[in-house]
């Protein structure tokens, strides 16, 4: 491991989602359960990032629909469960889109350190299990799974449309590599994001969380993945304490 270490300065369970922020999330038990999971598992910076991603993704999904862009046909199920006869997609089910967004980085949480899969896959599996437990139609479960598992894969998620593209572009918008949706399209407006979902040290905290897992288990950073890029940068400069150079 080249002596590389990562300071774990971000602590899970420190974030607070105010009532005015909760008011813009879908009124569905799956959303309440997913938010509780994210709040207890993730540090404030990643929790707030995940909620901002939902607000951006919801706006993108609506903008694409308003522009007359068709939704992709519902894919075949990944596994038995849910309601496979339904054609509802995650982009069409507000609770499925919320669960995908709020849990898209939950795989970086400490309780998933021992799972020998990259954090995107772990988070996708967690979200899929939760959605199935709430009888979400299987096509929507699969779309949510794809949205999370592909959210760090450039050029792939953007081509798949629906919730997969919306989540990917929302992540990019929050990190400044894609234009954010217009403020008037955001639930609650731009002030909700600016004042009640602060950025804190999201880039540093998320990069550190991914690298911490990869240093302990290289299986979490397979070749040609974003986790592998972060791990490579950390090993090249193990004493660096700022934002990971590959972020």
Beta bridge partners of 31: none
User: Which of 17-21, 88-92, 94-98, 180-184 is predicted with the least confidence, judged by mean pLDDT?
Assistant: 88-92
Query: What is the C-alpha separation between 129 and 138, in angstroms, rounded?
Result: 11
Whether residue 49 is contained in a domain is answered as yes
Residues 212 and 121 in one domain: no
Written as six digits, the tokens of 177 are 């590599």
> Under DSSP, is residue 68 helix (H, G, I), strand (E, B) or coil?
coil
**242 neighbors 204 (Cβ within 8 angstroms):** yes
pLDDT (tens digit per residue) in 196-228: 999 999 999 999 999 999 999 999 999 999 999
Residue 192 confidence (pLDDT): 87
Residues 187 and 163 in one domain: yes
Cα–chain center distance at 15: 16
Residue 84 confidence (pLDDT): 38
Residues 120 and 53 in one domain: yes
Domain that holds residue 53: 23-199
Residue 104 confidence (pLDDT): 98
> Which of 181, 179, 148 shows the shortest CA–CA distance to 164?
148
User: Which of 177-181, 194-198, 199-203, 233-237 is predicted with the least confidence, judged by mean pLDDT?
Assistant: 194-198
**Mean pLDDT of all residues in the chain?**
89
pLDDT (tens digit per residue) in 58-71: 999 998 876 655 44
Whether pLDDT at 93 is above 60: yes
Mean pLDDT: which of 1-15, 69-83, 165-179 is highest?
165-179
Residues 161 and 92 in one domain: yes
Query: What is the C-alpha separation between 182 and 129, in angstroms, rounded?
Result: 33
Query: What is the C-alpha separation between 186 and 191, in angstroms, rounded?
Result: 10
Query: What is the C-alpha separation between 230 and 245, in angstroms, rounded?
Result: 7
pLDDT cut 90: percent of the chain above it: 79
Residue 85 confidence (pLDDT): 40
Written as six digits, the tokens of 112 are 């998933």
Residue 4 confidence (pLDDT): 59
pLDDT (tens digit per residue) in 146-165: 999 999 999 999 999 999 99
Report the residue count for the chain.
Answer: 247
pLDDT cut 70: percent of the chain above it: 87
Whether pLDDT at 83 is above 70: no
Whether residue 9 is contained in a domain is answered as no
Cα–chain center distance at 203: 14
Residues 134 and 245 in one domain: no
Residues 135 and 246 in one domain: no
Q: What is the mean pLDDT of residues 161-176?
A: 97
What is the tally of structural domains in the chain? 2
Whether pLDDT at 21 is above 80: yes
Residue 206 confidence (pLDDT): 98
């Amino acid at each position: 491991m080249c002596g590389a270490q990562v300071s774990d300065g971000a602590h899970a369970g420190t974030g607070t989602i105010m009532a005015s922020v909760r008011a813009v999330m879908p009124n569905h038990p799956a959303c309440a359960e997913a938010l509780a999971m994210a709040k207890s598992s993730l540090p404030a910076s990643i929790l707030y990032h995940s909620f901002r991603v939902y607000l951006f993704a919801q706006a993108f999904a609506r903008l694409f629909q308003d522009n007359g862009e068709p939704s992709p046909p519902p894919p075949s199920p990944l596994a038995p469960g849910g309601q496979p006869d339904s054609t509802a997609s995650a982009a069409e089910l507000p609770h499925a889109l919320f669960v995908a967004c709020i849990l898209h980085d939950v795989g970086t949480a400490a309780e998933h350190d021992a799972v020998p899969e990259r954090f995107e896959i772990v988070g996708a599996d967690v979200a899929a299990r939760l959605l199935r437990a709430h009888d979400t139609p299987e096509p929507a479960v699969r779309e949510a799974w794809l949205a999370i598992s592909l959210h760090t894969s450039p050029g792939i998620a953007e081509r798949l449309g629906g919730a997969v593209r919306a989540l990917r572009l929302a992540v990019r918008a929050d990190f400044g590599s894609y234009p954010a949706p217009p403020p008037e399209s955001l639930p609650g407006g731009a002030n909700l994001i600016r004042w009640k979902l602060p950025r804190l040290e999201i880039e540093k905290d998320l990069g550190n969380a991914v690298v911490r897992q990869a240093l302990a288990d290289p299986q979490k950073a397979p070749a040609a993945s974003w986790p592998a890029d972060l791990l490579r940068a950390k090993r090249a400069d193990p004493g660096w304490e700022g934002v990971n150079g590959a972020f």
